[in-house]
């Protein structure tokens, strides 16, 4: 996995820098997501893993993607094909998305709560998290009745567990110790 990241990083940075320069971050993100899905396809994965020329691989890939790729996107695919890197498109897409989020100073936060949060609660939670992380917050809320009450907040590597379920588990462990 780390080898894929190392190989994909320069391509993701180059694509991102180009997209920023042309003010086409959203378009490039859409192109890369689509191309990554094509690369993940079993048939394409098998085809790209085979011993075909880079020009035929690029031609087939571009033909399948059709109008989803603009001229610059097609050139990017050709460069990846020449360097036998079409199979790392999913990793490139993931890294591109991470660069976009970092540029926007935004963090995705997953919130699991025992009951649905009201708009006022989400606004208060979002404001508190923005202050804590010093970034714009994008909340992804879900309901998990097994929490009994409270919520679990996951932001990157940070997990804030304020659920009654986990508090009961901790109390149970303390009583058994």
Write the pLDDT tens digit of every residue in 85-102: 888 888 999 999 988 877
Q: What angle do CA 99, 104, 105 make, to 5 degrees?
A: 95
**Same domain assignment for residues 37 and 96:** yes
**Same domain assignment for residues 159 and 87:** no
Last residue of a domain, one of 69, 102, 135: 102
Ranges of residues in the chain with a pLDDT under 70 are: 1-2, 51
Task: State the sign of the Cα–Cα–Cα–Cα dihedral 97, 17, 19, 38.
Answer: negative
Q: Which of 48, 47, 33 is nearest to 80 (CA)?
A: 48
pLDDT at 124: 92
Last residue of a domain, one of 83, 102, 121: 102
pLDDT at 62: 83
pLDDT at 120: 92
pLDDT at 123: 92
Residue 117: domain span: 106-176
CATH number, position 68: 1.10.520.20
DSSP one-letter string for 131-142? HHHTSEEEEEEE
pLDDT at 2: 59
**Same domain assignment for residues 90 and 120:** no
Tokens of 136: 């714009």
How many domains does the chain contain in total?
Answer: 2
Asked if residues 32 and 11 have their Cβ atoms less than 8 Å apart, the reply is no
Last residue of a domain, one of 102, 128, 144: 102
Residue 118 is classified by DSSP as P
**Same domain assignment for residues 98 and 125:** no
**Same domain assignment for residues 98 and 113:** no
**Same domain assignment for residues 93 and 28:** yes
**Same domain assignment for residues 15 and 95:** yes
For tokens 């708009």, name the residue: 119
**Same domain assignment for residues 138 and 79:** no
């Amino acid at each position: 996995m780390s080898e894929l990241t190392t190989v994909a990083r320069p391509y993701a940075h180059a694509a991102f820098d180009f997209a920023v320069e042309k003010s086409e971050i959203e378009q490039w993100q859409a192109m890369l997501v689509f191309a990554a899905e094509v690369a993940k396809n079993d048939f394409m994965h098998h085809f790209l893993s085979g011993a075909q020329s880079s020009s035929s691989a690029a031609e087939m890939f571009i033909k399948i993607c059709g109008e989803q790729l603009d001229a610059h996107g097609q050139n990017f695919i050709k460069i990846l094909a020449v360097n036998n890197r079409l199979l790392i498109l999913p990793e490139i897409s993931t890294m591109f998305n991470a660069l976009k989020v970092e540029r926007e100073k935004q963090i995705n936060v997953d919130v699991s709560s025992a009951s649905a949060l009201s708009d006022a609660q989400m606004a208060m939670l979002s404001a508190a998290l923005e202050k804590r992380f010093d970034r714009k917050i994008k909340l992804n809320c879900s309901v998990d009745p097994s929490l009994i009450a409270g919520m679990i907040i996951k932001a990157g590597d940070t997990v804030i567990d304020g659920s009654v379920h986990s508090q009961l588990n901790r109390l149970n462990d303390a009583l058994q110790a």
